[in-house]
């Protein structure tokens, strides 16, 4: 199970495809984080990230140490790569996702992710320090993805290419076509495979609701589906229109 905790909604980037700038800004209190972690099932991965940059949380490393003190939990993050980490800190993270969409500095800058060159250097540096832990997360928004794919393959770094979100709640500054619903069921509702906790402490069954105010519980969503309706928090979700979020997944290699 993934226990995903949105520890902050602060961010230092403005990616055109991300609704972060429309969210109220808040850091979760360390004590609240600890209580949530205490209730994560054994063997879970605590994914410390929501719609914000996790490394901006002033108590981020205390949070990581707390999760690791539990022995039966793993720590995962996805970061925009702008805030450096040292070898000791990297050693505490079990899975390190870094968001890079392109090898073109101009495309990255236009998308709202500046400083591409130092971020790529960090990806390679971290991969040399903790081989097998680093994974690149790219959003496919129509850019030429082949150079990034070749880069990941050449360096043996894992890569997830995610389609740009079709969900309405993400689409403040872009639009994808509205698609007919194919299913009124969702694996996140049928089984508790993902637990998402918003920065304000509210829970959701998946990480794709973005706005805590419109997010419903699994039971409420299930009632809508049974009545033949799609609630606003699930509007145009890939689970329902039948389009997977991930378009390409490449496994990374551990260096020997």
Ligand X SMILES: C[S@@+](CC[C@H](N)C(=O)[O-])C[C@H]1O[C@@H](n2cnc3c(N)ncnc32)[C@H](O)[C@@H]1O
Which residues are at the interface with ligand SF4 (CB under 6 A)?
11, 13-15, 18, 20, 51-53, 80, 186, 188-189, 205-206, 208-209, 221, 234, 237, 239-240
Which token pair is 6? 């949105």
Would you say 81 or 205 has its CB closer to ligand X? 81
Can you tell me which of 162, 198, 239, 252 binds ligand X, judged by CB under 6 A?
Answer: 162
Please give the distance of CA 141 from its chain centroid, rounded to a whole number.
16
Per-residue HEC secondary structure of 31-63 comes to: HHHHHHHHCCCCCCEEEECCCCCHHHCCCHHHH
- Give, as ranges, the residues between 167 and 226 that touch ligand X (CB under 6 A): 170
Q: Are the CB atoms for 224 and 231 separated by under 8 Å?
A: yes
Q: What is the Cα 96 distance to its own chain's centre? A: 11
Query: Measured between alpha carbons, how far is residue 212 from residues 21, 78, 123, 220, 247 in Å?
Result: 15, 20, 32, 14, 27
137, interface contact from ligand X, ligand SF4, none, CB < 5-8 Å by kind: ligand X
Q: Which residue in 8, 9, 44, 99 binds ligand X (CB under 6 A)?
A: 99
Q: How many residues bind ligand X (CB under 6 A)?
A: 16
Query: What is the smallest separation between the CB atom of 199 and ligand SF4, expressed in angstroms?
Result: 12
Strands 203-204 and 194-197 turn out to be: antiparallel
Q: Which residue has the tokens 């925009």?
A: 80
Residue 44 or 99 with smaller CB distance to ligand SF4: 99
CB of 135 to ligand SF4, least distance (A): 15
Q: Indicate whether 73 belongs to the interface with ligand X (CB under 6 A).
A: no
Which residues contact residue 29 at a Cβ distance below 8 angstroms, ignoring those fewer than 6 apart? none
Residues of the shown chain interacting with ligand X in the complex, contacts defined by CB under 6 A: 11, 17-18, 49, 51, 53, 78-80, 99, 137, 139, 162, 164-165, 170
């Amino acid at each position: 199970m993934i226990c995903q905790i949105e520890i902050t909604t602060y961010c230092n980037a403005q990616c055109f495809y991300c609704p972060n700038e429309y969210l109220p800004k808040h850091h979760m209190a360390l004590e609240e984080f600890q209580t949530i972690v205490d209730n994560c099932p054994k063997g879970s991965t605590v994914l410390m990230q929501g719609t914000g940059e996790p490394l901006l949380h002033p108590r981020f490393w205390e949070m990581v140490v707390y999760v690791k003190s539990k022995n039966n939990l793993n720590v995962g993050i996805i970061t925009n790569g702008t805030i450096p980490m040292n070898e000791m800190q990297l050693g505490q993270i079990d899975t390190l996702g870094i968001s890079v969409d392109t090898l073109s500095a101009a495309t990255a800058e236009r998308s709202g992710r500046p400083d591409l060159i130092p971020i790529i250097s960090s990806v390679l540096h971290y991969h040399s320090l903790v081989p097998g832990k680093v994974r690149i997360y790219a959003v496919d928004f129509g850019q030429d993805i082949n150079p990034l794919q070749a880069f990941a393959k050449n360096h043996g770094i894992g890569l997830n290419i995610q389609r740009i979100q079709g969900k309405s709640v993400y689409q403040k500054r872009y639009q994808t076509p509205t698609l007919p619903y194919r299913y009124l069921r969702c694996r996140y509702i049928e089984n508790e495979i993902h637990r998402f906790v918003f920065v304000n402490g509210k829970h959701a069954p998946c990480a794709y609701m973005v706005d805590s105010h419109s997010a419903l519980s699994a039971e409420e969503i299930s009632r809508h589906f049974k009545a033949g309706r799609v609630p606003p928090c699930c509007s145009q979700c890939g689970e329902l229109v039948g389009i997977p979020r991930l378009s390409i997944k490449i496994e990374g290699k551990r260096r020997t």
